[in-house]
Structure 1
Amino acid sequence: MPTVVERFMDWTVSWLPLYGEAKLLLVIYLWLPSTWGAGHVYDGFLHPLVAWHEADIDLSLLELRARERDVTVSQLKAAAVIGQVWLVEAARCVSS
């Protein structure tokens, strides 16, 4: 998501004077521990957003885990069939 925002901003406002310098200052603000920039962004924007959608996120994760189990079981069954076919062919080649 940050890359999408960054590319959109680069495309739309990169023509402004001092855009590169302002972008560098923002990165430094977010990165330096002494400025608490990342903490301010998290506390002011990300945490409320995630808290607002927490139930939806949890439900989606549960559904994803259930689908993952189904896919894993089906992949294991397919691998077992392929292994069985391979063993039959190997036995046939050895016996000939």
Structure 2
Amino acid sequence: MFAGYISKVLLVFFGYAYPAFECFKTLEQKHGNYTVQLRFWCQYWIIVATLTAIEMLFECFISLIPMYGEAKLAFLVYLWYPQTKGTDLVYEAFLRPVVMQYEPNIEERFRNLRPKLGQLLVFYLRNFTERGYTLFQDVLRYVISSRSSSEKVKGTSSKKKKKHDELEELAEALLGTDAKQNPSRQRK
């Protein structure tokens, strides 16, 4: 377990943080082989994004591979290591030919998908806010009803009674109902 944690920390540092910093340095330099370095780091991030997408699709199978994290770490270091610069090889030999072959099809699908993504986002936001508001109301009603029943059993002190009254006033203001009279669930 500890070894897995160490490999994840190393993966984040050497696979993401260090390359991101190098990419930052490349963007900030104003002279020299700026475009060559920028192309190199763009290729690196394209490979990393592709690898991440593949991992997400086949996560159940990848989790069965022993020492996958360590192999991924070695692969990412191979990609950016100055002596190997494996990014050029992987990008030019494997990734670029495949993407170039399917580029028109991919572009067409993204073009058709963009308007649908906006509609999907609006649907999920609307659904989330409606359900979140209903859930908030239900939780608030539950808290009020459980407080009321527990205070009836225990008896109320003036301090508890004051807090309970403040909570009921808050619930009334938020819910727009009389929480004392109707603690049952209401749906829109």
Q: Distance in 1 between matches of 2:91 and 2:127?
A: 46
1:21-36 correspondence runs (5 A): 33=90, 36=93
Deviation at 1:34, TM superposition (A): 6.6
Please list every run of 5 or more consecutive structure 1 residues that lacks an aligned counterpart in the other structure. 4-31
Show the counterpart of 1:38.
Answer: 95
Larger Rg: 2
Matched, 1:71 2:127: yes
Please list every run of 5 or more consecutive structure 2 residues that lacks an aligned counterpart in the other structure. 1-53, 58-88, 153-188
Q: Which amino acid aligns with 1:95?
A: E
Show the counterpart of 1:80.
Answer: 136
Aligned residues: 66
Change in 2 beyond 3 A, CA 1:35/1:58: closer
Show the counterpart of 1:57.
Answer: 113
Q: Which amino acid aligns with 1:73?
A: T
TM-score normalised over the length of structure 1: 0.56
Secondary structure at the counterpart of residue 36 of structure 1: helix
Q: Distance in 1 between matches of 2:121 and 2:148?
A: 40
Tell me which protein shows more helix as a share of its residues.
Answer: 1
Deviations 1:17-56 (A, max 9, x none): xxxxxxxxxxxxxxx61752122111111x2112123331
Runs of at least 4 residues of structure 1 off by over 6 A?
none
Deviation at 1:63, TM superposition (A): 0.8
CA RMSD, Structure 1 to Structure 2 (Å)? 2.3
Q: Distance in 2 between matches of 1:33 and 1:54?
A: 25
Matched, 1:94 2:150: yes
Q: Which amino acid aligns with 2:141?
A: V
Q: Which amino acid aligns with 2:108?
A: W
Deviation at 1:93, TM superposition (A): 2.5
Change in 2 beyond 3 A, CA 1:68/1:40: same
Q: Distance in 1 between matches of 2:132 and 2:93?
A: 47
